[in-house]
Amino acid sequence: MRRNDPGATGRGPRDPSPRWRGTTILSVRHRGKVAIAGDGQVSFGETVMKHHASKIRKLYNGMVVVGFAGAAADAFALFARFEEKLQEYRGNLPRAAVELAKDWRMDRSLRRLEALLAAVDKEHSLIISGTGDIIEPDDGIIGIGSGGGFAVAAARSLVAHSSLEAGEIVREGMRIAASLCVYTNDYITLEEL
């Protein structure tokens, strides 16, 4: 495999089929509030298929908000499984995340799911991956998906150099990411806790 091959993934021969790609999820914990948002674009290969998708869900009686990046069907399967874990552990976000990550790694059907989850409640901000990783950033800022890096950079700057509230920072960070990432649009679903 050549290093300069843009289709090379490191996982075998190049797969020419189009992929569902991109999204941006951003969460900011600031001044006692947490806000999380996702863009609405769904892309298949180089084609925008939908502009107004909702990639953010409230779970456990609205006490936990989750956003996903990755394949939509996979994310919906994970939402359902995560909601079961939240019910089982009475809304304890860290414990539910650990149990979901364990299942995700061990269960054959879940292991093939391609998605990342950002999950927040009033106390915790977590990234949950299919490799079993659960990450709680030091600064309370999470960005996942193709535009996640752009959104995080914008949010960190806004937290440090503005008087904006968490929701305003998230909205502006998402707007900036949409201006840079072709797989992210400016139709934003935002939730605050």
Is 24 labeled as catalytic in the residue annotation? no
Catalytic choice (23, 24, 184, 189): 23
| Angstrom distance (rounded) from CA 154 to CA 66 | 21
pTM: 0.87
CA 139 to chain centroid = 17
- pLDDT by residue for the chain (193 residues), tens only, comes to 333 434 333 444 454 545 545 789 999 999 999 999 999 998 888 889 899 999 999 999 999 999 999 877 777 888 888 999 999 999 999 999 999 988 877 776 666 667 889 999 999 999 998 777 899 999 999 999 999 999 999 999 999 999 999 999 999 999 999 999 999 999 999 999 9
| Angstrom distance (rounded) from CA 41 to CA 69 | 11
Residue 156 contacts by C-beta under 8 Å, 6 or more apart in sequence?
A: 139, 141
Q: Crossing angle, helix 93-106 and helix 72-88, to 10 degrees?
A: 130
Question: What CATH number was assigned to the domain covering residues 22-185?
Answer: 3.60.20.10
